[in-house]
Amino acid sequence: MRLSQYFLPVLKETPKEAQIASHRLMLRAGMIQQSSAGIYSWLPLGKKVLDRIAQIVREEQNRAGALEIMMPTIQPAEIWQESGRYDDYGAEMLRIRDRHDRDMLYGPTNEEQVTDIFRNHVRSYKTLPLNLYHIQWKFRDEVRPRFGIMRGREFLMKDAYSFDLDADRAREAYNRMFVSYLKTFARMGLTAIPMEADTGPIGGDMSHEFIILAETGESGVYFHKDWLAADLVTSVNYDEDLQPVVDKFTSLYARADEKHDPDNCPVSDGDLMSLRGIEVGHIFYFGEKYSAAMGATVAGPDGANVPVHMGSYGIGVSRLVGGIIEASHDDKGIIWPRAVAPFDVAVINLKADDETCTSCAEDLYAKLQTAGADPLLDDRDERPGAKLAAIDLIGVPWQIVVGPRGMKNGVVEVKNRRTGEAVEISPESALTMVMSDA
Ligand code: 5CA
């Protein structure tokens, strides 16, 4: 992408309304624009990161055996009346009436909708196990939308729903999602600790939140200090029994604050960490809660009809954009992990009216594309300082700076955004260096 042809409305001033780093940086880097409280437009840079995160989530869901579908944002009230949640959900639900006076709602979650799909099509246990997911916008009329997209009213969620014949098999489905979440967050460069949690309006009796540590996080968390050194990258495959893997993680104490009882905590004061975190995922097992209420039954091996056992599994896809920035930034701006970066490398031409610089920058840009990278070329007619600051701000992992001084010696400067390390090398070596960090 040529920056001269891109839409990157960076802000010089720090927006006053933004209280935390990720919100400030997303506004300054031209990633989002507020439409109304808790509702945002995603501009090209923001949309690109959002898509990259969604794609990692999608790949890991598929790998775990879940099947992608797409359910609507607008749902009929009837199915929520059947489950009993239409009244329970309260003011957070945005209720809509259509021209025929039918009660509709903008979905805050999809347990009812997916249970309705299931009961219309599945009759036998032979179709099980089944796990259906989608990546779709949700609306919750939060009392206090804040921190930008971190607690929005409209937000993008991946929500998966598992269907199994009995509680043991449902536990296997839960374990698969548990492990897939560890893999998903690790791919994004995040350390997300699974913590026992309350089930809230989703219901059920087993639930884990996946929480990344951040001072500005909304959740208070308590956990054994060994978590700080724990290796959360799992190399297991889904054909083995995952219970020991899940046990290994759940045996080490970690609780979201509502589940932490200081009087009955097994961890000694000296080993207990009390910090803040951001909930990026939440998984639930709730058995027959929706299937029994809505008549989602299957014929078991003995021919008798039984309600299926279900679980639901959410990831805050749009929240993750903010979460990753909270975990990875400095005073100059964002530092994207390569896996979610909007561009792999920025080629910065410091002097757009210099022929040697321009031909070198253009040549590098073309070669990076041919090599399969996604480069950004800063070909704008701007002050060098402004260019360097903008590229630091938007957090592209590598920078190749082409300037008249270096060109005299046939070198460019390659800078790693995270470490700040810079070297002067030939354009060919720069290409090799950037391409070897895939
Ligand atoms: N149906 C279940 C699981 S699919 C469910 O809705 N779970 S949830 O309520 O915990 O939401 C799942 C994830 O969505 C959360 O872990 C969080 O990362 C994200 N999320 C929830 N509310 C918001 C919000 N207001 N703004 C941004 N992300 C949110």
| pLDDT tier at 357, thresholds 50, 70, 90 | very high
Residue 419 CA to ligand 1 centre (angstroms): 33
Which architecture does CATH list for 3-334? 2-Layer Sandwich (3.30)
Least confident of 117-121, 197-201, 210-214, 341-345: 197-201
Task: Write the burial class of residue 292 (CB in 10 Å: 0-12 exposed, 13-18 middle, 19+ buried).
Answer: middle
Is the pLDDT reported for residue 438 higher than 80? no
Same fold, 3-334 and 343-435: no
**Ligand 1 atom at minimum distance from 314 CA:** 4
Sketch the domain layout of the chain as residue ranges. 3-334, 343-435
Best CA proximity match to 187, nearest among 256, 280, 250: 280
> Quick one: pLDDT at residue 198?
85
pLDDT at 200: 83
What pLDDT is attached to residue 201?
82
Averaged pLDDT, 279-298: 97
Q: Which of 104-108, 257-261, 420-424 has the lowest mean pLDDT?
A: 257-261
Residue 30: closest CA among 16, 17, 19, 40: 40
**Tokens 């990720």, residue located:** 22
What pLDDT sits at residue 165? 98
Task: State how far the alpha carbon of 134 is from the alpha carbons of 54, 105, 175, in Å.
Answer: 10, 18, 19
Strands 254-256 and 74-76: unpaired
Q: 305-307 and 297-299 as β-strands: parallel, antiparallel, unpaired? A: antiparallel
**321 CA distance to ligand 1 centroid (A)?**
14
Pocket of ligand 1 (CB under 6 A): 109, 111, 140, 142, 151-152, 155, 157, 159, 202, 279-282, 284, 312-314, 316, 318-319
For residues 18 and 169, give the distance between their C-alpha atoms in angstroms, rounded to a whole number.
45
Domain 343-435 is found in CATH 1.10.10.60: no
Ligand 1 centre to CA of 282 (Å) is: 7
Query: How far, in Å, from the CA of 316 to the mean position of ligand 1?
Result: 6
Choice from 93, 150, 157 to test ligand 1 binding pocket (greatest atom count within 8 A of CB): 157
**Residues, the chain:** 438
pLDDT band at 232 (very low <50, low <70, confident <90, very high): confident
pTM over 0.95: yes
Per-residue confidence at 167, pLDDT binned at 50, 70, 90? very high
Helix (H, G, I), strand (E, B) or coil at 182: helix
